[in-house]
Amino acid sequence: MVSIELVESEAQPPESAVALLAAWQRFNADGKGPTREDFTPFVLKPWLGNIDVYVVEDGGPDRAMNFRMRLNGTEVVALTGEDWTSKTARDIDRSLGVNLHEELLSVYRSKRPLAHHIRIFQKDYVTAYRLLLPIFSEERDGTVVQIFLAIFDEG
């Protein structure tokens, strides 16, 4: 996972980030949100290395909701030098002093994408563009089951 700091930027988002967001919007044309069935590995091929996949873990009445990383994109790992596969957003927050859990929770609740220009703390001279994209259940009942966190190096 990338520890981040929001930065002001007049830079345009990278074309690959714009293309991923456009794909999300195409699959959301009916307003019910894209599902994992929509985002097959074939569809995701241009962006697979840039995507971390977080699975929503509903803790039930006795436990808080969690977001667990199931896939840490190879480009993200190369950019940060860290692999957080199988860790939760709270684990990352505790280790890096960030608010990833709250950001994912915001996307989960709003059911809308979120985008930022960010600074990579592991390499403070590197800025990137980050997308958080909610992915919905196959039942198309409005339930967010995953969140894609995509990072695109701005160079």
CA 9 – CA 116 distance, rounded (Å): 9
Cα separation, 33 vs 99, in Å, equals 25
Is 80 exceeded by the pLDDT of residue 37?
yes
Token readout for 64 is 């808080």
| Residue carrying the six token digits 């995953």 | 146
| 59, pLDDT greater than 70 | no
Integer Rg of the chain from CA: 15
pLDDT at 42: 94
**Quick one: pLDDT at residue 110?**
93
Q: How many residues does the chain have?
A: 155
Helix (H) or strand (E) holding 27: helix 15-27
The two tokens of residue 77 are: 């790992």
Q: Report the chain's mean pLDDT, rounded to a whole number.
A: 86
Q: Helix and strand tally (H, E) in the chain? A: 5, 6
Q: What is the pLDDT of residue 60?
A: 57
Q: Report the number of distinct structural domains present in the chain.
A: 1
The CATH number of the domain where 98 resides is what?
3.30.450.20
- Per-residue pLDDT, 1: 28
User: pLDDT digit string (tens) for 116-142?
Assistant: 887 776 666 678 889 999 999 998 788
